[in-house]
Every structure is written in structure tokens, then in C-alpha cells.
């Protein structure tokens, strides 16, 4: 997806650019979290598109599971992610 040029004065186009920028940042941050915990994302993945898509979905599910299990522990014993450093990745995969 591409944003409209900065010279757009149309209110709807400015709102579109703003939302697109926010969502792009959200995706980049989410991918950064996954890449820091699952090192498979640190380099180009060689394989079929279907397998790569399944791998990405599986890592999101595993991330959510680990985060939920970690939240059940006392704060001092949490190992997966520091409290408040991220939110559960719920949307984006169906």
C-alpha cells in the first residue's frame, strides 16, 4: 500500500496517510518482537510461500501462548517479555 503525496490537502487523504503510517509502524514493531524471539525471522527464509505463511502463523500462536503462560507467573519470575513491553498479537491472521 502506498500513501498519498505530502502535498495533499484533502482531509480524507491525510487521515488515510495517518492511519497507514500507524498500521505500518504496528506491523514493523510486531515483526521486530517476533524476530527477536524467533530467530528464523532474522534472515531470509527459503521455502514455499505456503510453508512460510504457516510458519509465521505458528510463531504468532506460540508467542501468544508463551505470553499468556508468562503472565500467570509472579512478576519476578517472568522470563518471556518484560511487563508492558508488548501486547498480544491477536489480529492479522485468520
Closest by alpha carbon to 3, among 27, 16, 26?
Answer: 16
> Other C-beta atoms within 10 Å of 63: how many?
20
Query: What's the pTM value of the predicted model, to 2 decimals?
Result: 0.59
The whole-angstrom separation of Cα 78 and Cα 86 is 14
Number of domains in the chain: 1
Which residues constitute the domain of residue 15?
11-91
- Percent of the chain whose pLDDT exceeds 90: 1
Residue 21 lies in a domain: yes
Q: Is the pLDDT of residue 63 over 70?
A: yes
Taking only the tens place, the pLDDT of each residue in 18-48 is 888 888 888 888 888 888 888 888 888 888 8
Residue 82 lies in a domain: yes
Residue 5 lies in a domain: no
Q: Which of the four pLDDT bands, split at 50, 70 and 90, describes residue 8?
A: low
Amino acid at each position: 500500500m502506498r500513501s498519498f503525496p505530502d502535498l495533499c490537502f484533502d482531509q480524507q487523504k491525510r487521515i488515510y496517510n495517518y492511519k497507514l503510517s500507524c498500521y505500518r509502524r504496528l506491523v514493523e514493531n510486531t515483526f521486530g518482537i517476533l524476530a527477536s524471539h524467533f530467530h528464523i525471522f532474522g534472515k531470509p527464509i527459503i521455502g514455499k510461500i505456503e510453508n512460510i505463511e504457516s510458519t509465521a502463523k505458528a510463531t504468532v500462536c506460540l508467542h501468544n501462548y508463551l505470553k499468556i503462560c508468562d503472565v500467570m507467573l509472579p512478576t519476578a519470575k517472568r522470563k518471556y517479555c518484560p511487563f508492558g513491553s508488548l501486547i498480544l498479537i491477536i489480529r492479522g491472521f485468520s
